[in-house]
A and B are shown apart, each in its own frame.
Chain A
Amino acid sequence: DQQVKQNSPSLSVQEGRISILNCDYTNSMFDYFLWYKKYPAEGPTFLISISSIKDKNEDGRFTVFLNKSAKHLSLHIVPSQPGDSAVYFCAAAGTGSARQLTFGSGTQLTVLP
């Protein structure tokens, strides 16, 4: 039972344009959401996060939007750069004391020069 879903396995975007990566979740107990970026043969790298009390968080070219009623979040990258080409994972943390993360299956972003 996938509690965090990334329905697009891949996305291609032209350099300079906006990349929008989507993520849906089913567990209403999730209250903290994160995006990770992963290059081949490396571990995931933390990118940006958002608490459920907010609907937007921005960090440079990266913005995460959270729509709690729709149980949906998205990551916007603008402008996209070739170095952004990587797999992006969405993750969600529950309210338990362990705060474990549940990951989506990832979206491969390719930014074309």
Chain B
Amino acid sequence: DTAVSQTPKYLVTQMGNDKSIKCEQNLGHDTMYWYKQDSKKFLKIMFSYNNKELIINETVPNRFSPKSPDKAHLNLHINSLELGDSAVYFCASSQRLSGGRNEQFFGPGTRLTVL
């Protein structure tokens, strides 16, 4: 009955490799997000998709490419991994509500370590 799930939970890989993180939500939400939590613990938005359409694309290296096959999934593919990509990546989802509400529900996070 997990609302927002991410796989894998931990990912250890070598520099230069390509990897993907998968995210699925079963809440019926129309918007999904990827956040990066850096070493200073800030949660920073990377991407957002609404009904499979990209609506937020912050200044992120183009080695990062989100893919949304349907409203319930938003995957993150990272090419040519670098040491600085090491972080915890969180997926989130929300449903656009009236009054500007935007409660986002987060997955458990994927800790990526690049060696």
| CB of B105, distance to nearest CB on chain A (Å) | 7
Given the known inter-chain contacts A41-B108, A43-B4, A97-B55, please indicate yes or no for A105 contacting B40, CB distance below 8 A: yes
A7 at interface, CB cutoff 8 A = no
- Tell me whether B108 and A105 are in contact (CB under 8 A): no
Q: For the complex, is B100 an interface residue (Cβ under 8 Å from A)? A: yes
A59 to B90 alpha-carbon distance, docked (Å): 26
Q: Please name all residues of chain A whose beta carbon is closer than 8 Å to the beta carbon of B101 when the two chains form the complex.
A: 32, 49, 51
Q: Which residue of A lies closest to B55 (CB)?
A: A98
B interface with A by C-beta (< 8 Å): 4, 33, 40-45, 48, 50, 55-56, 90, 92, 96, 99-109
Minimum C-beta distance from A49 to chain B (A): 6
With a cutoff of 8 Å between Cβ atoms, the chain B residues found around residue A103 in the complex are: 42-44
CB-CB nearest in chain A for B106? A43
A105 with B102, Cβ < 8 A, contacts A43-B107, A43-B108 known: no
Please report the C-alpha to C-alpha distance between residue A80 and residue B41 in the assembled complex, in whole angstroms. Answer: 24
**Please, could you name 30 A-B residue pairs with CB atoms under 8 Å apart, sorted by A?**
A31-B100, A32-B101, A32-B102, A34-B102, A34-B103, A36-B106, A41-B109, A43-B4, A43-B90, A43-B92, A43-B108, A44-B90, A45-B106, A46-B103, A49-B103, A51-B99, A89-B43, A93-B100, A93-B102, A97-B55, A98-B55, A98-B56, A100-B33, A100-B45, A100-B56, A101-B104, A102-B45, A103-B42, A103-B44, A105-B42
Which 8 pairs across A and B sit closest by C-beta, in order of nearness? A43-B106, A103-B43, A99-B102, A44-B106, A98-B55, A98-B56, A46-B103, A93-B102
Instruction: Kindly report which residue of chain A lies nearest to residue B57, judged by CB atoms.
Output: A98
Q: Which of B50, B102, B107 contacts A101 (CB 8 A)?
A: B102
CB distance from B27 to the nearest CB of A (A): 12
Quick one: which of A32, A51, A89, A101 contacts B45, CB cutoff 8 A? A101
